[in-house]
Amino acid sequence: MTDSLKAVYIKTYGCQMNVYDSGRMLDIMRPHGFHHTDDINTADVIILNTCTIREKAAEKVYSELGRILILKNERTKLGKETVIVIAGCVAQAEGKEVIRRAPFVDIVVGPQSYHNLPMLLEQIKRNKSWIVKLDFEENNKFDLLPEELGKGSSISFLSIQEGCDKFCHFCVVPYTRGAEFSRPVSNIYREALIMAKNGVKEIILLGQNVSAYRGLPPDIVEDHDIDHKIHKDLKNQENNTIIISDIQKNHKKNDNFNYWSLSKLIENIANIKEIKRIGYTTSHPIDMLNDINLIFLHCTEKKLMPYLHLPVQSGSNKILKSMNRKHTREEYFQIINLFRKYRPDIALSSDFIVGYPGETDDDFADTIDLVKQIEYSQAFSFKYSARPGTPASEINNQIDEKIKDQRLQILQELLRKQQMIFNLQKIGDEMEVIFEKPGKKNGQVIGKSPYMQSVVCDGSLDIIGEIMNVKIVDAKQNSLFGKII
Ligand code: SF4
């Protein structure tokens, strides 16, 4: 790649997996001479990392592309080349349709293929033709390991699992991200070590459903001589990938491995001295009781953050059944009660959908009742929107938009109150805060509490990247205010 295509702008839509993927795209591109820019006008490569979870996602991408085309044409007049890349779930769902509707797009790359970006950009440069790459190659994607991982960040995501087999009736993830795939323990541990070396203090283990994590244990990897090879030459990515692929094939044939659960993985990452905090997201209730040790670990492992994001989506058993969630509200309460028993101060978070097809006033009242009983520290709530191709989109009994709006308002008002109460309860507490970035005002720094809240303190920018004891003196809806002790 010559100097003509260097600055990369990425716009990320949607969930934390996409945020993680955008970071990895940059990690993968950096060794090839690319650098990140926040200014789209100066970007030689523009990547839209898209999401299909919300309504009209594809339409939003096309209208954004209209604006980008104007920019591309202006740059062309100045003799500057601009490569446009559509990545993520819209890319996976739409494929060549993207090129048909927006022929000025150069690359369409699915969530399982973005590790090929440097090569695809090189191809575009040589052939000047569009490329659509949508293969499901999870091993390759994860196992290309830049040594810059986590550099410049005190908090980093580490992807341990991807895809989902749950097929909730409203969700496109199983179609766009594929079946559940757990990364082998050695690979994850190796990334955690690199992050620790690069100054990361908090790792959030990430996946569509991390509670379903079943990782190939390191001794299996050693049996195949892979650990030795990995440590011998981290840069020999091609070899690692081939060997891991072979093991993965064997593991699919042979189900006798003693797979590692999420809790065992956490226990081991906790042994890395430089890593001070570990979190995980997202989980599914039906997998939580398969790894009971995870609940105990919230009591015994100091590094495990007192935070659980456990989506429930609805408080109505009728709607949960229609959503194909495979659990009841009673089972959800049972899990939450267990977590609270072993970690009473745990901060709880969830996802909610209001106005799912067939949701009556009584069903919605069940959701409100569930929220009142649980008392969340934060939560994400949305109006149901039909995703093409999902079973829920074919249910006749769709809910009127006005009713959805009213229900969302009621739910969000309650969740806001609960978040405020949770934050106010922290006033007077002392807690460890990892400082991440400058505050909005001069002389302020922003960090993160173990409960996932933003904490604003007066302090020098030198403390960014440090972990410090802070006394909380005030609280607002979205952040705490503290004094460094
Ligand atoms: S658990 Fe359900 S909502 Fe979550 S990713 Fe899987 S199918 Fe989608």
Rounded Cα–Cα distance for residues 192 and 211 (Å): 19
Tell how far the Cα of 168 is from the centroid of ligand 1, in angstroms. 5
- Protein residues whose CB sits closer than 6 Å to any atom of ligand 1: 164, 166-168, 171, 173-174, 208-209, 284
Name the strand (E) or helix (H) holding 69. Answer: helix 57-77
Instruction: Write the Ramachandran bin of 33: left for phi over 0, alpha for psi from -120 to 50, otherwise beta.
Output: left
Look at residues 191, 112, 99, 111 and name the one whose alpha carbon lies nearest to residue 147: 191
Tell how far the Cα of 138 is from the centroid of ligand 1, in angstroms. 18
Rounded Cα–Cα distance for residues 447 and 21 (Å): 23
Name the strand (E) or helix (H) holding 381. Answer: strand 378-383
Quote helix, strand, coil % in the chain, to nearest 5: 45, 20, 35
* Contacting residues for 26 by C-beta, under 8 A, at least 6 apart: 8, 10, 34, 36
Print burial letters for 148-181: b (CB count within 10 Å at least 16), e (below 16).
Answer: ebbbebbbbbbbbbbbbebebbbbbbbbbbbebb
Secondary structure class of 469 (helix, strand, coil): strand
Q: Which segments are annotated as binding site for [4Fe-4S] cluster?
A: 15, 51, 89, 164, 168, 171
Confidence (pLDDT) at 241? 34
- 7-137 has CATH 3.30.470.160 classification: no
CATH class in words for 426-484: mainly beta
Confidence (pLDDT) at 238? 33
Confidence (pLDDT) at 121? 86
Q: Which residues pair with 446 in a beta bridge?
A: 437, 456
Query: For 283-329, what is each residue's pLDDT tens digit?
Result: 999 999 889 999 999 999 999 999 999 999 999 999 999 999 999 99
Question: Cβ distance 163 to 179 under 8 Å?
Answer: yes
- In degrees rounded to 5, what are phi and psi of residue 25? -60, -45
Query: For 470-483, what is each residue's pLDDT tens digit?
Result: 999 999 999 999 99
Rounded Cα–Cα distance for residues 221 and 196 (Å): 22
Confidence (pLDDT) at 110? 85
Q: Ligand 1 pocket: which of 176, 281, 283, 284 to mutate (most atoms <8 Å of CB)?
A: 284
Query: For 404-448, what is each residue's pLDDT tens digit?
Result: 999 999 999 999 999 999 999 999 999 999 999 999 899 999 999
Tell how far the Cα of 324 is from the centroid of ligand 1, in angstroms. 10
Confidence (pLDDT) at 252? 43
Tell how far the Cα of 376 is from the centroid of ligand 1, in angstroms. 20
Measured by CA distance, the residue closest to atom 2 of ligand 1 is 168
Tell how far the Cα of 218 is from the centroid of ligand 1, in angstroms. 28
Q: For the domain bounded by 147-305, which CATH number is listed?
A: 3.30.750.210
Residue 440 has a CB neighbour count (10 Å cut-off) of 7
Query: For 331-371, what is each residue's pLDDT tens digit?
Result: 999 999 999 999 999 999 999 999 999 999 999 999 999 99
Tell how far the Cα of 450 is from the centroid of ligand 1, in angstroms. 26
Rounded Cα–Cα distance for residues 311 and 211 (Å): 12
Rounded Cα–Cα distance for residues 382 and 311 (Å): 12
Secondary structure class of 311 (helix, strand, coil): coil
Look at residues 413, 412, 348, 416 and name the one whose alpha carbon lies nearest to residue 383: 412
193 burial (CB, 10 Å; 0-12 / 13-18 / 19+) is middle
Rounded Cα–Cα distance for residues 305 and 449 (Å): 9
Percent of the chain whose pLDDT exceeds 70: 87
Measured by CA distance, the residue closest to atom 8 of ligand 1 is 171
Tell how far the Cα of 174 is from the centroid of ligand 1, in angstroms. 7
Q: Enter the tokens of residue 344.
A: 């009473």
Query: For 107-160, what is each residue's pLDDT tens digit?
Result: 998 887 787 888 888 888 777 677 887 776 555 555 555 667 777 789 999 989
Q: Is the dihedral of CA 98, 401, 282, 24 positive or negative?
A: positive
**Rg, Å, the chain Cα set:** 23
- Amino acid residing at 406: Q
Q: Which residues pair with 157 in a beta bridge?
A: 204
Q: Domain spans of the chain?
A: 7-137, 147-305, 426-484
Q: Say how many Å lie between the first and final Cα of the chain, rounded.
A: 49
Rounded Cα–Cα distance for residues 77 and 100 (Å): 24
- Counting from 1 in the atom list of ligand 1, the atom nearest the Cα of 164 is 6
Q: Ligand 1 pocket: which of 54, 89, 161, 166 to mutate (most atoms <8 Å of CB)?
A: 166
- Amino acid residing at 151: K
Confidence (pLDDT) at 330? 96
Residue 253 has pLDDT above 60, yes or no: no
Residue 209 has a CB neighbour count (10 Å cut-off) of 22
Tell how far the Cα of 217 is from the centroid of ligand 1, in angstroms. 26
- Counting from 1 in the atom list of ligand 1, the atom nearest the Cα of 351 is 3
Measured by CA distance, the residue closest to atom 4 of ligand 1 is 208
Question: Cβ distance 89 to 134 under 8 Å?
Answer: no
Confidence (pLDDT) at 362? 98
- Across the chain, mean pLDDT equals 86
Query: For 447-457, what is each residue's pLDDT tens digit?
Result: 999 999 999 99
